[in-house]
Each structure stands twice: as C-alpha cells, then as structure tokens.
Structure 1
Amino acid sequence: MPLRRLPNGWEIAQVDPGEAAFLYREIFVERSYLRDGFPNPTPEVIFDIGANIGMASMFFAQTFPDAFIVAAEPAPEPFAALTENFRRHVRGGVTHNVALADREGTRRLGYYPNATAESGFYADQDSETELARRLLVERGLSPAQAEAVAESRHKLSYIDCRTTTVSALIREHAVDHVDLLKIDVEKSEIEVLAGIEEPDWGRIRNVVMEIHDFDDRLHQVLTLLKERGFTCETEQETELSASDIFMIYATKPV
C-alpha cells in the first residue's frame, strides 16, 4: 500500500495521493470538523462514520488524544488504508469494514476507485463528474484538462457491502455516550440518522455532518436534530455555493 508523509510528520497509508492531500488540507489545515465552542465538552468517545482512509480520525486523535475512536468504512481499498493508519496513529481505536445505514444487511455501493471519498449508495456519475470539472476549472485548470481529470476520477464500479447501524455500534462497544458523531456518507445521511434508536439519541452530544440537500434533506435533518434537543448551525464553503453540499454542526446544551 502506498505511503506518504503528511506535513505534520506522520507517515500514512493512502489510496490516491491527490485525494489524500485534499483531505489533509480540508481536515487538518482548514479544521472543517471543528468550530469555536464545538464540540463541547471535549470528546471522550468519537464515531467516525464514512471514515475513508481515516484522515478525520487521525485529526481527532491528534486533537483529542484521550478519545476512544470508532471508525466505519465500507470500501475495501480505503478500509485497508484506514486500518493501517489506525495501527500507526489512532491508539486504541477500532475500525469496521461496514457502511452505516438504517438497518443491518447488505447493500450495493457505487464505488469510484480513483475518487474513493465520493463513493456512496447514491453515486451519480454525471453530476459528480460535472461538479469536479467545475471545481477544477475554478482552481486553474483549462476546461479540457478539467474534463479529462474529472472523467478519469469518476470511473464508476459497484460493490456489495455489509450495513449496520449507529445503535448497533453503540451496543457492540458498550459505550454509554458518543460525544462526537461525525457523518460523511455522500447522500445517505438520513439513513444513518434513521439507524439511531430513540433511547440512543440521549447518548449523542455533538453531531458534525456533511449533508447533500436533495429532496429537501437539509430541512429534514435539521428538523430531526432540533426535535431531539440539538442547536444547529449550517455552513457552506464558498467554492460549493452552486452545489447542494452543506455542513451541519449540532450540539446539545451542557
């Protein structure tokens, strides 16, 4: 498995160098999963749902070194890198080769081997290729170059993966609270939340998630979280202003 050294000095396993560099910038440099006062209190238990190669888990391990981290990733290549990265950098953490959903079972995953972080149950090759093309043009590539790169990164295949639920993971690890639930699952966010049984909502203190706002999903998710006692903030990156992608930071009063 190819290795790379991050700017912070850590050597990590990766699938694609460009994707790893992008994730490092987004998570370690821009600190996309943290905000002033969020999460609160300091997390002791973190669930990383849609972990990919584990960049978020490694960031959480660096930022909250005493936290117990559970990570879930369904695709085989990112999961292999995730497992190696936990061995190197996430002391005492646990990885699961599984997708999170509203029930336990098996489901078909749309998988981009050259853009693994964009894989998901709702993979839309045309729209995801077009978004990548537009972003690459904005970053300085010519339209022809952007088209070629976007198409090469979005060769779509399919794999069957096992699914489980957040509540099943809570039971498996016998944790009585989840201080930070991070979700990045490429359009299946509502299904992950639907896999939280009602008694377990009281165990969850902070949620950070990327949400794709199709079929009014942003409103649905915000309503669900607010009904369960969370205060929510929504943000959208400037370069994604023409997309349906937002971030939600949800916390309960201490």
Structure 2
Amino acid sequence: MKIQKIFYYIKSVLLLCKESKSKINFILSLLRLNSFYVFKNNLNFEIKSLLDLLILKETVIDDYYQLKKIEGTNPKIIVDIGGGFGDFSIFAAKLFPDAHILVFEPNPILSRFLRWNVSFNNIKNITIHSYAISNKREIQIDISGEPTKTSMFFDRKKVSNTIKVKTKRLPDIIKKNTIDFLKIDCKGGEWDILSNLSSQELTKINIISMEYHNQYIINLDEKIVKKLNQRYIIVQKPDIFDKSIGHIYATKK
C-alpha cells in the first residue's frame, strides 16, 4: 500500500506539472517558495500547503466530483457545501459561467482564503456564505489543525481550538431553488445534512456528488445509499487507499 501511495503522489506531481501554466512556478510551489498554482486555462489558486495542491489535482484535473458530466446541460444552481479554499466552486464557475454557485464554508480561515481566490480570479457568479449547513441551530467545529480537515466531529480532550458557527438548513435553500448539482464534502457532517430531507425535497436536487466519511459515523455510506436509493441512480467508489472514505454520485431517476 505504501508503494502504491508513493506512485500515486509521483503521478500527481507529474500531472500538476503538466497542467501548470509555469513549470518554474510549480516547482517553487512544491518547495514552498511560492504560494500560487496557475492552470493553463489561467485559473489561479493561492495554496497554503502541499495538501492543497493534491486537492486541486483531484478536484480539477481528475474531476473528482464529476462536474464535466453535466457539460452542455446549462445548470442554473450549483451548491457547494464545504467550500474549502474554492477549488470546486471556482472550477464550476469556469465550466458554467451562467450558473449561480452558492458556497458554504464555516471555517473563518478557509472562508477568507476562499473569498481571496474567488476575487483573484475575478469570478462574479459565486455567492459565499460563512456558515455551516446543518439541522442544528449551531454547531461547534475544530479549527486547530489543517483547515481543509475542519470537522464537527472531534475528541474534545485532544482539540485545542474550536469555535461555534451559525448554520442554515438545506431544506431552507431548496425552498427557494431547484439545485442542479449539489456537492458535499464536510468531514462527517453529510448525514446531518441529508437525513431529514423529505422525498419531496429530494425531488428538487438533480445530482448529488459527495464524499462520505465512515470514520466519523459507522456505515455512513450505507445510510446515505439507503436514503437516496429510491429516487437516485447511485454510483459508489471507495477510496483506493482508505476504505473508510469514498465518493457517491447520485443522479435523479
């Protein structure tokens, strides 16, 4: 498994180098002497860590959330729950300039980072909301580690820095919009978001593309599949290195 990971990282570096506008700048970013990565299509991201580079590779180059599957369908509303530093939402804005993209990112560090990347790319069709999506009125999140690993699930004895964040319910968003594409990556908060959606509310979401995290909730993937199975065609793909996480792509029947 370790050898497989090494080959995966080498391949990732080569792909990122190939897709970068400037090979020199890419090498500098690998060495942490430069904090920017620029794609050949001029999408520009400020990055804070090597993990951010890997996230960019998976989201944009690998099309992890399978956004390109809906090219030519003219989506009007795309929702990004767990916006991070803007990798998905900026990629979506580039692919679908006529779509309105709603982004939700409660971590204040990532939210500032996200706003900067959106502004730097001069993108006008993204609206950023600095709160979480949850059925609870308020949740507490861990912000003591790597920002892109922010979660509402943590060991209170081991975590040194947490904050309470305001929330909004997904049904309240659905009341106002039919969602053409819903992306979710919120490190264990997936079930809190989806569990109370009614069958009628699910009819207003055309595609759900999400990462699940069984390490936070046992058999979470099975719960999600059971919840969506009646109304969606589901494709599930476990992570090749960590079977506790994976991707679900659900298309409305």
Match of 1:43 in 2: 75
Helix, strand or coil for the counterpart of 1:239? Answer: coil
Q: How do 1:200-211 and structure 2 match up within 5 A?
A: 200-211=201-212
* More moved, 74-83 vs 159-168: 159-168
CA contact (8 A) 1:38 1:251 kept: no
CA contact (8 A) 1:51 1:71 kept: yes
Bigger relative contact order (CA 8 A; separation at least 6): 1
Helix, strand or coil for the counterpart of 1:235? Answer: strand
The 1:197/1:93 distance shift into structure 2, 3 A limit, reads: farther
Match of 1:165 in 2: 169
The 1:39/1:221 distance shift into structure 2, 3 A limit, reads: farther
Deviation at 1:77, TM superposition (A): 0.7
State the percentage of identical aligned residues: 21
Gapped runs of 5+ residues in structure 1? Answer: 127-153
Q: Deviations over 1:208-249 (max 9, x none)?
A: 00011232211110010113x101000023222xx4001000
The 1:230/1:162 distance shift into structure 2, 3 A limit, reads: same
Deviation at 1:155, TM superposition (A): 7.2
Q: Deviations over 1:15-74 (max 9, x none)?
A: x23232111111111110117846894422100001111110011112222211000001
What is the TM-score normalised by the length of structure 1? 0.76
Q: Deviations over 1:135-163 (max 9, x none)?
A: xxxxxxxxxxxxxxxxxxx9752111111
The 1:37/1:60 distance shift into structure 2, 3 A limit, reads: closer
Deviation at 1:194, TM superposition (A): 3.0
Q: How do 1:48-67 and structure 2 match up within 5 A?
A: 48-67=80-99
Segments ≥4 residues shifted beyond 6 Å: none
Gapped runs of 5+ residues in structure 2? Answer: 1-33
Match of 1:10 in 2: 43
What is the TM-score normalised by the length of structure 2? 0.76
Match of 2:53 in 1: 21
Q: How do 1:176-187 and structure 2 match up within 5 A?
A: 177-187=178-188
For 1:249, give the aligned amino acid. Answer: Y
The 1:36/1:106 distance shift into structure 2, 3 A limit, reads: closer
Cα distance in 1 between the residues matched to 2:128 and 2:50: 24
* More moved, 35-44 vs 5-14: 35-44
For 2:221, give the aligned amino acid. Answer: L
